Structure 1
Amino acid sequence: MAHPIVTHAVPTPASRTPIYAHLYAQVLFAILCGALLGHFYPAVGEALKPLGDGFIKLVKMVIAPVIFLTVVTGIAGMRELAAVGRVAGRAFGYFLAVSTLALLVGMAVANIVQPGAGMHVDPATLNASAVADYAHQAHESTVTGFLMAIIPTTMISALTDGSILQTLFVAILFGIALSLVGEPAQPVLDLAERVMLVVFRLVGILMRAAPVGAFGAIAFTVGKYGAGSLVSLGGLVATFYLTSILFVLVVLGIIARLHGFSILRLLNYLKAELLLVLGTSSSEAALPSLIAKLERAGCDKGVVGLVVPTGYSFNLDGTNIYMTLAALFIAQACGIHLSWGEQFALLGVAMLSSKGAAGVTGAGFITLAATLSIVPSVPVAGMALILGVDRFMSECRSLTNFIGNAVAAIVVARWENKLDRAQLAQVLANPGARDAEAIN
């Protein structure tokens, strides 16, 4: 059964709408207004936090159904169960390679630029209580606990508890079961296809509230933390942003070019989602729309359903750059010299602790706490140095993670010969007159 999310139609000039009707323009305007309000009226900006939180909750409400239905219909449509394992294997191979590269890039930049050198901070003077909650959450996170948490209490709870990995786990099993049953299960598959149409229409409705959510979220961030907090640690923030930009344009750009598409055209195609991630500091806010747009761009539904949700926990390029860069910044600021052996040990720990961090606000900071708690050379209390600007780096982490997952889905789809290259080229060259076209 054909899925109407995927369309080959290219809008004609006559169908183009005014710029103010584009979702990306509305979100950008909302971000600018929110930043100005938060700067000039901080108290009002802080009070608008519920707008951002409410929008993110609205989107999270539909994430589980979107993932479940996309994965179930995608796997059932593959027919060959061996293809499911092959897609997963290739996806994890890609995640491991690119994530390791991101960690190495962060470590290399920290050693070259040394943003924390010269601060001469005495670790004994740091306020450890400021990061105590994050350190506690990190301590409670173990590999065994993470793996056990993937298994839901019931099949239904996987769709209600808000865990992406639990939803993905149940969806994969259900999709495999549908495939094994075969023809008798066809009515169930048809129903899932029809329900998916309704869910994606609901996503389209919710995305109309994106400017309101972005306005509230950015007003709160600027109002609470203030742009002035960027000055003292501007070197670290600037280094992180520049490193992430170079990683996207150079590393992901090369990967994209080798697989037949332009990273700049992909960014243009996803500009509405990128602005939404920027405004809310959460890559989850744009997950349903990303899935729809990748399908529209010619990626197979089953590949997208497996790669994107899994990547939200295992393919966090921005978080990995942040982990090694921030850890070495703290060491440099405290005057702690780390040998190459200690730095590579730090990288190895970061490789493990970064897996399973969800693409939500604050997860990168908790993951950094988990890494430092295992590496005794760098004090966990040193995280208090960057606590004030972590929110501003959260946007960049989320953006880089989001772009990395979009690239990963296209690359794996091409490896599997499940990518319509002509459609991808056509859609990236002509993104469309309406931002909501991919989900309407």
Structure 2
Amino acid sequence: MDRRLTFWILVGMVLGVVVGQALNATLDPAVIKESVAPWLKLLSDIFLNLIKMLVAPLVLSTIVVGIANMGDSAALGRIGVRSIAWFITASLISIGLGLVMVNLFQPGVGAPIPDAAAATAALGEVKELKATEFILSIFPKNAVEAMATNNILQILVFSIFAGVALSAIGERGAALVRGADALAEMMLQVTGYVMRYAPIAVFAAIANVVAASGLGILGTYVELLLEFYFSLVILWAILLTIGAMFLHGRIWTLIRYIRQPIMIAFSTASSEAALPKLFEQLDRFGVPRRISGFMLPLGYSFNLDGSMMYMSFATIFIAQAYGIDLSIGTQIMILLTLMISSKGIAAVPRASLVVITGTLAMFGLPVEGVAIILAIDQFLDMGRTATNVVGNAVATSVITKWEGMLEVEEPEYVPHPEAPAHTAADGKRGLELDPENFA
């Protein structure tokens, strides 16, 4: 099933480009906007809505079960410290590499400057998020509201409290833990059903973008696109090389397992769309749910490697477009500002643009410059979103190996009902496996 799904997602992407370009070449833009685009958007939005339906209960159940069965609170703290250390290191690599590559290639020199009025209109929805507002937004005032809005960071906070509390009350909370475990298994089973619709959604999403903008728009920004994607390839190579230092030969297995989440993230430009499938594939790779259930939601808020590279790349690109020469010291300050302000951006609409806008304003750079990249932001977003998935998959797998809990992977052909994904009880299996697994 997995190989067939991968094939049909690829088919959907190719057909989306072909059909989208045909529509763009034959139909009037007004007709596309009024008659074609809404139906294509409907097909892709159905998939995204179904995925969003899964995220909150899946994140809640996996974190609660994982922490409740952690047993040793010191282990949770140790995993948390190691995770944050990895996230900070990956952030510095991502932002630093973006800064180096944009200075090396200088894609902003000669870029088209948008009309100020049009830029202001295009940026009307983007608002800077103050530091105090962000910190307050981490803590939910209503757990139900956090789940209703799919605020992963707030769900994470509530789930940690719930998991620690269930662990503290012991046997009295066992029924709730078993219920949460069953809920997680049910949501992954539903994920399998939803994924069968993915090729249609991928086709519609790609066709909609190409029909509206046409592949011709890429010509105007071809230098920026090529240089940004080349930089992402280098970042992938760095992340996977570091992962191979811990995982050794199993890094190739990890790449094979996460190809579907990567394709879903790339084609839909939505990290959220890939999250349920990423849970499932890491289960198969051998990551216990108590680790992935804690790290993936945390990583989705604090380990967005692709987005962070994009923000450093885009900020300096805009300065270059306006002919503003920034000293190395100023660029390092911009890097540090992005490093801090990018954490937890997942819950903010148009998150990367929010951070870029705030950084531009802070350093006296033209905020309206964000409109330069709006025309191709969807194409840039596809690459950075896929990179976020790679970064979080590698981080979760490495921390699991570091903890000595990486298990033998499940064969891909084993049906889910007969060979269920790792349950909470499976967390104990990591210490009972072949010692070579921890080498």
- Same fold at TM > 0.5: yes
What is the Cα deviation at residue 300 of structure 1? 2.1
1:287–1:163 Cα change, 3 Å: same
Q: Deviations over 1:240-259 (max 9, x none)?
A: 1111011102x112211111
Q: Which position in structure 2 is the counterpart of 1:11?
A: none
Aligned match for 1:260, one of 220, 230, 247: 247
Distance in 2, matches of 1:122 and 1:206, equals: 42
Secondary structure, aligned partner of 2:399: helix
1:51–1:266 Cα change, 3 Å: same
Q: Which position in structure 1 is the counterpart of 2:160?
A: 172
Q: Which position in structure 2 is the counterpart of 1:39?
A: 21
Distance in 2, matches of 1:122 and 1:221, equals: 23
Aligned match for 2:276, one of 276, 288, 302: 288
Q: Which position in structure 2 is the counterpart of 1:354?
A: 342
Q: Deviations over 1:121-164 (max 9, x none)?
A: 66886743144325x42x2x122212211222323223222101
Aligned match for 1:159, one of 147, 153, 163: 147
Equivalent residues in 2 for 1:39-438 (5 A)?
Answer: 39-42=21-24, 43=32, 46-47=37-38, 48-119=40-111, 127-134=118-125, 136-137=126-127, 139=128, 141-249=129-237, 251-261=238-248, 263-358=251-346, 362-376=350-364, 378-420=365-407, 423-424=408-409, 431-432=412-413
For structure 2, the 5+ residue unaligned runs are 25-31, 423-439
Q: Deviations over 1:285-328 (max 9, x none)?
A: 01011112212211121111111111111101101111111111
The question of whether the paired residues in 1 share the 8 Å contact of 2:151 and 2:347 is answered with no
Secondary structure, aligned partner of 2:141: coil
1:263–1:383 Cα change, 3 Å: farther
Distance in 1, matches of 2:151 and 2:304, equals: 17
TM-score (norm 2): 0.87
What is the Cα deviation at residue 266 of structure 1? 2.3
Matched to 1:46, the amino acid is A
What is the Cα deviation at residue 184 of structure 1? 1.9
Of stretches 57-66 and 203-212 in structure 1, the one that deviates more from structure 2 is 203-212
What is the Cα deviation at residue 82 of structure 1? 1.7
Secondary structure, aligned partner of 2:123: helix
Q: Which position in structure 1 is the counterpart of 2:426?
A: none
Matched to 2:399, the amino acid is V
1:114–1:126 Cα change, 3 Å: farther
Secondary structure, aligned partner of 2:323: coil
Distance in 1, matches of 2:304 and 2:319, equals: 23
The question of whether the paired residues in 2 share the 8 Å contact of 1:214 and 1:276 is answered with yes
Q: Deviations over 1:155-186 (max 9, x none)?
A: 32232221011111111111100100012221
Distance in 2, matches of 1:359 and 1:277, equals: 17
Q: Deviations over 1:3-42 (max 9, x none)?
A: xxxxxxxxxxxxxx696xx111111111111121111113
The question of whether the paired residues in 2 share the 8 Å contact of 1:38 and 1:221 is answered with yes
Of stretches 195-204 and 170-179 in structure 1, the one that deviates more from structure 2 is 195-204
Distance in 2, matches of 1:222 and 1:339, equals: 38
What is the Cα deviation at residue 92 of structure 1? 1.0
1:213–1:124 Cα change, 3 Å: closer
The question of whether the paired residues in 1 share the 8 Å contact of 2:153 and 2:347 is answered with no
Distance in 1, matches of 2:224 and 2:56, equals: 36
Distance in 2, matches of 1:344 and 1:45, equals: 46
Secondary structure, aligned partner of 1:259: helix
Distance in 1, matches of 2:219 and 2:247, equals: 41
Distance in 2, matches of 1:290 and 1:359, equals: 19
Q: Could you say what the CA RMSD is over the residues aligned between the two structures, in angstroms?
A: 2.4
1:104–1:360 Cα change, 3 Å: same
Q: Which position in structure 2 is the counterpart of 1:28?
A: 10
What is the Cα deviation at residue 431 of structure 1? 4.7
Q: Which position in structure 1 is the counterpart of 2:27?
A: none
Q: Which position in structure 1 is the counterpart of 2:29?
A: none
1:266–1:350 Cα change, 3 Å: same
The question of whether the paired residues in 2 share the 8 Å contact of 1:35 and 1:219 is answered with yes
What percentage of residue pairs aligned between the two structures are identical? 34
Secondary structure, aligned partner of 2:209: helix
1:36–1:329 Cα change, 3 Å: same
Matched to 2:124, the amino acid is D
The question of whether the paired residues in 2 share the 8 Å contact of 1:312 and 1:359 is answered with no
For structure 1, the 5+ residue unaligned runs are 1-16
TM-score (norm 1): 0.87
Distance in 1, matches of 2:375 and 2:353, equals: 12
The question of whether the paired residues in 2 share the 8 Å contact of 1:361 and 1:394 is answered with no
The question of whether the paired residues in 2 share the 8 Å contact of 1:76 and 1:175 is answered with yes
What is the Cα deviation at residue 190 of structure 1? 1.6
What is the Cα deviation at residue 264 of structure 1? 4.5
Q: Which position in structure 1 is the counterpart of 2:432?
A: none
What is the Cα deviation at residue 267 of structure 1? 2.5
Matched to 2:274, the amino acid is A
**How many residues in Structure 1 have an aligned counterpart in Structure 2?**
410
Matched to 1:410, the amino acid is S
Of stretches 70-79 and 355-364 in structure 1, the one that deviates more from structure 2 is 355-364
Of stretches 405-414 and 349-358 in structure 1, the one that deviates more from structure 2 is 349-358
